[in-house]
Amino acid sequence: MERTQRSPFTATVTALSLLFLFVPIAVVVLFSFHSTGGLSFPFRGFSLRWYEEVFSSPEFREASVNSLIVATATAVVTLLLGTLAAYGLSHSRSRLRAPLALLFFLPLTLPGLFIGLSLLVLFTEVQIDASLATVTIAHLVYVFPYFLLVSLAALNRLDVALEEAGADLGANSWLVFRKVTLPQVWPVLVGASSLAFALSFDEFIITFFVIGADSTLPMFIWSTLRRTVNPSINAISSLLLLVTLLLFVISFVLTFRRGRKRRGVIGGEELMEQALAGDAIGGRT
């Protein structure tokens, strides 16, 4: 590819965009270590007091545990159901395959507000009390298409002939899945599952509608904000950021790691391109 001329204009715009994106985050993280209760400059010195305060709060601990429970349950159930759905969609020869896949991806386009509200109505109609279970169900609805998008792209990229070779060598469909398909796509599936975890862990809007009396971390931040404004909020946000970031990194490494193909595992940037280009809907080539 030809290298484009560096123009001072492009460089400036790039720098400004990056500043715009990351300065607010950096400021939040910085002030979580503030030694005083001030939330604006000048910065008066470092301290871990806000982290201590946060960790000593029983409400914070309860909210964290709840978030972990919900996110873990969401990630695990998504992994199981999503893998089944992706496998089915990638192996179906039915004419309904493409419309069905589209239907699966539809929630991507729905606003969280709408999902939250409609689930609230549903739960009220069928008289299910709001709890962490309803939150988990709501999160499943929300994260499922993301999981499917990534895993379906990986499964569609699998060489059909490899699975045929497995069957030819005597493996029934289950053994082909376990011994041929799964060993090639598991990193993508686990990566997509940690993406599901991350999405669930800091989800707020949908949770707000269906949570009832319990609390999750984002809910806790929100309720704290209404009472007090001090750097403990920053400390919680920074922690949330850290967990989410970590999971995205894990997910990214597992899903898009370079050179995985040499080791025979589907991955690479092309996968992401394909996922974005709607290859998941297009089906196997």
Partner 1 sequence: MRPEPLPRVRLEEVTHRFGDVTALDGVSLDVREGEFVTLLGPSGCGKTTLLRIVAGFERPTEGRVILGGEDVTRTPAHRRPVNMVFQRPTLFPHLDVFENVAFGLRIAGVSTEEVRARVGDALRLIRLEGYEGRRNYELSGGQMQRVALARAMVNRPKVLLLDEPLSALDLKIRLEMEAELRRVHRETGATFVYVTHDQREALALSDRIVVFNEGRVEQVGEPDRVYRNPASPFVARFVGDSNVIAVEVTPGDTVRIAGRAMPAASDGIAEGAAWLVLRPDVVRLSAPGSGTGLRGVVRDVSFRGTGHTYRVEVGGLPDPIKAEMHEGGTFELEDEVELGWDPAASPLLPRTPDEP
Q: What are the residues binding partner 1 (CB under 8 A)? A: 159, 161-162, 164-172, 175-176, 179-180, 183-184, 261-265
CB-based contacts of 23, cutoff 8 Å, min separation 6 = none
CB 160, min distance to partner 1, A? 10
Return all residues near 89 (Cβ < 8 A) that are at least 6 apart: 97, 100, 101, 104, 148, 152, 155
What does the alpha-carbon distance between residue 239 and residue 127 come to, in Å, rounded to a whole number? Answer: 35
What's the closest the beta carbon of residue 257 comes to partner 1, in angstroms? 15
For tokens 């500043």, name the residue. 19
Q: Which tokens sit at 264?
A: 């025979």
Q: Which one, 5 or 172, has the nearer CB to partner 1?
A: 172
Q: Which is nearer to partner 1, 34 or 157 (CB)?
A: 157
Smaller CB distance to partner 1: residue 130 or 265? Answer: 265
Token readout for 91 is: 């192996």
- Give the nearest distance from C-beta 144 to partner 1 in angstroms: 27
Main-chain dihedrals φ then ψ at residue 46, nearest 5 degrees: -90, 150
- Residue closer to partner 1 (CB basis): 20 or 174: 174
CB 201 within 8 A of CB 244: yes
Q: How far is the CB of 267 from partner 1 (least distance, A)?
A: 12
Residue closer to partner 1 by CB (options 160, 242) is 160
Smallest separation, CB 96 to partner 1 (Å): 17
User: Residue 200 in contact with residue 71, Cβ under 8 Å?
Assistant: yes
